[in-house]
Structure 1
């Protein structure tokens, strides 16, 4: 088994949605290429947005409520946490930050010893279809973590066990010029314990001091800030309220090309610093900040 190098890199972000068609239409309108539907054996379905850096966005919907209910009864943490998020915050949002690991069992042991594991790991496989219809099977093992007082949003480490031998390059090419998933912004009234906890989950060194701070990962960055700091920086309240995951950062080739595309499609957007902010809408999950290059 490979040994994890810490901190763990970002792997993907989970975006609950009421309807995959709505999510696909919205993300396509933003200029993303959206993959065909993926079906999980425990009742959820997704239509992912893959980036050239290996990360992805995972819009997630309920495909079979009976299977989801059975999975929750059997102790499936992924489905249980998704259900808890939807019950508390609605069918649209940004529920999970996921880190990549070569050994999910080791992460689970680490989370259990730290008192932050909400339940047993999950192993599963699902079909994968590329843009040309070529099929393969992807398999994963997940280890989960939660933060006390940060109730519905959650985290997990994802080990990609079986990678299908299909060409994903067409799915990684986006009309808006998106190249990489650059990170996320987390909201909390008391930022210090939250960023310390996220650092523990990722195996990272937490930045010192209070107030907004960036947690550096090998391929991305997670910033934790207070609601008022978010409002000052982005000119609006975070849609997640006073705690949760508020914003997705996406690195693009040319910010002017990206903004021209959004404007031509009458997508509401505004310049924020060196980036372009698109406020959250149904199927989008969270505010998205497009940034040129978006180096972490």
Structure 2
């Protein structure tokens, strides 16, 4: 039975070393990137968001080292790329309590916010409550947490949801691991969603109609993406994002795009170590 208060994947955090340069790079890939945000001081981070219909990507950087962002500092010491994925929760307090019932000690809930420049002028505030699964509960090397949005209107801004590449939603988060079965079963236990085998590849739904987690080994990853696309990608951990576009021709127009079967892919070297692939739905 799916966990109460967990409603599927909410956003994927791509952690970067140079926040402004990364935002410019993703804009060149046809994404509409939000104005830069600065989180509450105890978090010590800043971000840009790339908004879709129900979910989004977050480019995250450390502005001031703090205890709260120490795991992100450690991640960046090794590489850039997908550090973690958030689930939507309708109650961070309820979700954290559910973890405790299962014998897991959550981190949080923590409340924070950030100012938001509004398209019509003026400034609003995006407010959140979040909790994290324990740091070592990281299936395939990807950490997970949950986010309760307290001000959706300052995050899902219509003007920011239209992208030149036609992106509309996150379809899959692909995680590279030596043991896809074990990593999928780990995720399955943490969120009470089934681990489903498809040959050597394993899938775990995130919940509802949101993105799936796909766990695959190096051979399956190489079969899915040519060398030119995998160049610059991690050899372990969350490695690729598959996005739904309303028109593959828009994705094909991205400089450096490579057609791979029924998908169009952007090399990891152009997107902070993340393979970005577009599919039509």
Q: Tell me, yes or no, whether TM beats 0.5.
A: yes
Q: Secondary structure at the match of 2:35?
A: coil
Correspondence for 1:107: 95
1:229 to 192, 196, 220: 220
What stretches of structure 2 of length at least 5 have no aligned partner? none
- Going from structure 1 to structure 2, the CA distance change for 1:166 and 1:94 (only over 3 Å counts) comes to closer
Partner of 1:34: 33
> Secondary structure at the residue paired with 2:185?
helix
Aligned equivalents of 2:154 and 2:26: distance in 1? 26
Distance 2:244 2:102 in 1: 33
Deviations 1:101-125 (A, max 9, x none): 1112232233344455463332112
The residue aligned with 1:86 is 76
1:137 aligned residue: 125
Distance 2:72 2:55 in 1: 20
Residue 44 of structure 1: CA displacement? 0.5
DSSP 3-state at the match of 2:234 = coil
2:278 corresponding residue in structure 1: 290
Q: How many Å separate the matches in 1 of 2:185 and 2:141?
A: 18
Q: What TM-score comes out, normalization by structure 2 length?
A: 0.87
Question: Does the Cα contact within 8 Å between 1:277 and 1:288 map onto a contact in 2?
Answer: yes
Output the CA distance in 1 between the equivalents of 2:54 and 2:149.
Answer: 11
Matched residue SS, 1:31: coil
Deviates further, 210-219 or 18-27: 210-219
Specify the alignment match of 2:145 in structure 1.
Answer: 156
Compared CA separation, residues 165 and 30, structure 1 to 2 (3 A): closer
Deviations 1:49-102 (CA, angstroms, capped at 9, x unpaired): 111x22111001122x2xx32xx0xxx3xx122122112x23x21100111111
Question: In angstroms, what is the RMSD of aligned CA positions?
Answer: 2.5
1:240 to 2:224 alignment? no
**Could you tell me which of 220, 229, 238 is aligned with 2:211?**
220
- Distance, in Å, in 1 between the alignment partners of 2:158 and 2:224 is 35
Distance 2:55 2:21 in 1: 22
Matched, 1:95 2:83: yes
2:144 is paired with a residue whose SS is strand
Per the alignment, residue 47 of structure 2 pairs with 46
CA contact (8 A) 1:85 1:153 kept: no
* Contact 1:15/1:94 (<8 A) preserved: yes
Work out the CA distance in 1 between the residues paired with 2:140 and 2:197.
Answer: 24
Uncovered stretches (5+) of structure 1, i.e. residues with no partner: none
TM value normalised by structure 1: 0.83
- Asked if the contact 1:280–1:288 (Cα under 8 Å) also holds between the matched residues in 2, the reply is yes
1:173 equivalent in structure 2: 162
Give the 3 Å change call, closer, same or farther, for CA 230–283 of structure 1 in structure 2. Answer: closer
Confirm or deny that 1:279 pairs with 2:278: no
Is 1:13 matched with 2:12? yes
1:199 pairs with one of 177, 188, 191: 188
**Equivalent residue number for residue 252 of structure 1:** 245
Call closer, same or farther: CA 1:165–1:224 in 2, change over 3 Å: closer
Alignment check: 8 A CA contact 1:134 1:166 kept: no
- Asked whether the equivalents of residues 183 and 215 of structure 2 are also in contact (C-alpha less than 8 Å), the reply is yes
Distance 2:123 2:146 in 1: 25
Partner Cα distance (1:37, 1:128) in 2: 8
